[in-house]
Amino acid sequence: MIAVRKLPARYAPIVMPFVLSVLMTAVVSVISTLRSLGATPAFLATWPGAWALSWLVAFPTLLVVLPLVRRIVACLVASPPRQGQ
């Protein structure tokens, strides 16, 4: 088994929105582009550009709004009980 070096924990606030933005924009842009063009050769030529543009918007947006989203979720969801209580 190959050992993969992990990034230090301090990078988690950047890596999480990066991975989330890559996956979500890929899914949404595939669906949107397929709906617009259908499963045609034009889809394969158009989708990468559509994905790249949506990712360029989504990643910085997530970096800005994620702290707000965490605060909203904390207001709406009970914290788990602490161990020993």
Got the DSSP string for 33-46?
A: HHHHH-SSHHHHHH
Q: What is the pTM of this model?
A: 0.78
Residue matched to tokens 């543009």: 53
- Residues recorded for the chain: 85
Q: Mind listing the pLDDT tens digit for each residue in 27-74?
A: 999 999 999 999 999 999 999 999 999 999 999 999 999 999 999 999
Cβ pair 47, 29 in contact under 8 A: yes
C-alpha span between 33 and 43 (Å, rounded): 7
Residue matched to tokens 């949107």: 32
- Assess whether pLDDT exceeds 80 at residue 84: no
Cβ pair 2, 48 in contact under 8 A: no
Listed by start position, the domains of the chain span: 16-73
